A and B are shown apart, each in its own frame.
Chain A
Amino acid sequence: MSQEILKEEERVAFGLRSLYKQYGYLPYKMSKFEEYDLYAQNKDFLRLAGVVTFNDTDGKLLALKPDITLSIVKNDADSDVKRKVYYNENVYRVSGKTGRFKELMQVGLECIGNLDLYDVFETVYLAAGSLALISEKFVLDLSHLGILIPVLKSVNSGVAFEKAAVRCLAEKNEHGLRALAEEYGVSEADTARLVKLIGAYGNPDIVLDSLESVCTCDNSKKALAELHSLWSLLKTTEYADRIRLDFSVINDGNYYDDVVFKGFIDGIGESVLAGGRYDKLLKKLERKSGAIGFAVYLDLLEGFGEKPRLADVDVLVLYNDRVCAETLAKTVRALIDEGYSVSAQKSAGGLRYKKLVDLTGGGVC
């Protein structure tokens, strides 16, 4: 199949599948439907605005999948061998922008098992590689909730404060965070640590150094050390100058608790990739394993990088009832053999074409 005929999202999907296979990820094909109970039981983790449901012939309540990760991890058992899978599936979610259901095409991968530094590195590296397949102008923003959450908890101002503060961090909203801290009587020193997180973005070498004063408890120090180790591996790769730290990355869903990341492409107004480590979800499912993964939102690539088409077909072959089918078939065939795309029509209508072959004046059998 010619690469030219593929739409951008199809070309990327082919490339991503090939990339994931190289690293030993196996394809995972799943059913379009899932029992609704799965989402009802895990609604706190998914934070879904809505699920499309319907009754099966036996009355069982089913749902069109709003999430892939949960379906992959739900039936797994802990094992010594890490499970590495990739998928290419559609999900059905309420769009935050329109408030209506939307079908979204996702390609992604999950790595489940007894994870170590290499697994986290490999996943982040593959996330960067996925973005590079879409465009060389990309940025992968990396954060660590193991730093953010302990810092917020150490302020000791309650859940309402933490939620509002997380929103301010996600918005890089320093003035909002300062006002919030004042409202909750947070000390100047703690406010300064939180504000520092808002400003902690950019080159990881610089940002990591600036975080030393923010991470005062054992948990956040441990997370910072993990981030240092991860960066020391990532900085040796070809994507080093595309990877940044940014603590405004707080991914949707409540199941991330460690490294999280988001990918951006120059020219696309929102993040096209999101992922992270979600051991918390597996713990809720009473599993000892850890898990990390990400998804690429292919629907956002629709039309990306495409040049405006000036013609619908290369050649329009005009004919009428007096033109015999044999002559028409030969003409069309010959043009196709020359490499043109051809549309045989009795009227041009609104069709845009580069070249016209008009058989209406001759070609009678």
Chain B
Amino acid sequence: MLNIALPKGRLGEKIYDIFERAGYECPSIKENNRKLIFENAEKGVRYFWVKPSDVSIYVERGAADIGICGKDILAEYSPDVYELLDCKTGVCRLAVAAKKGFHDDGQNTLKVATKFVKCAEAYYASKGRDIDIIHLNGSIELAPILGLSDVIVDIVETGTTLKENDLEVVETIFPISARLIANKAGFKFKTAEIEALLSKVKLLIG
């Protein structure tokens, strides 16, 4: 039985549809109820929905054999897992954004507001730029508007929220998409099952 952690929300539903088409369906998952775990013993799969940022924790600790997780989470938390496949969905990017017309002249410490502290620190360390990190948990776009920060480091999908708030992307740090991850120990004992699923999903993703 493969335990699969899916991220709650649109991305998770999209990935489940791919798994379903790959032959790993579990009809009960589409029933409107409050169940947390859905199993299809015949297909050898057990799905559960978890908060997107928790998927890597479930997989790293072996509660799930495999899971679907954004590259942003993997880069920020560096879980000790296998990253087996780029699912090429949930495509976006981690970017630096600022108020339109902002210019970093490099003369002062750059104030950076973000949820992705480690990614932002690593990015600016690679450029040798001195920064003051402001760790926020949401509504990051507000920070430069209210003068809390000079720039933000955040996920940008279409850029609409930025535009509506008179902000713009200054630099892209790295592209993001959903990744299929596996627990390292679990992979040793369920190699054939995981490889079979992987090859079927790969065919569908292209």
Contact = CB atoms under 8 A, between A and B. Distances in A.
Contacts, number: 50
Interface residues of A, number: 21
Contacts of A176: 83, 86
A175 B81 contact: no
B128 to A, nearest CB: 15
Given A264-B188, A269-B60, A269-B62, A171 B183 contact: no
Interface string B69-87: 0000000000011111110
A202 B192 CA distance: 11
Interface centre among A96, A172, A266, A268 (most CB of B within 10 A): A172
Range class of the B interface residue count = 10 to 19
A265 interface: yes
Nearest to A141: B188
A246 B83 CA distance: 15
Contact of A175 (B61, B82, B86): B86
B84 A172 contact: yes
B93 interface: no
Contacts of B63: 269
A268 B85 contact: no
Nearest to B74: A171
Contacts of A248: 82, 184
Nearest to A266: B189
Interface in A137-166: 137, 139, 141
A246 B98 CA distance: 45
30 contacts: A97-B60, A97-B61, A137-B189, A139-B188, A139-B189, A141-B188, A171-B82, A171-B83, A172-B82, A172-B84, A173-B83, A174-B84, A175-B85, A176-B86, A202-B191, A244-B188, A248-B82, A248-B184, A264-B184, A264-B185, A264-B188, A264-B189, A266-B185, A266-B188, A266-B189, A268-B185, A269-B63, A269-B183, A270-B60, A271-B185
Interface of B: 60-63, 80-86, 183-186, 188-189, 191
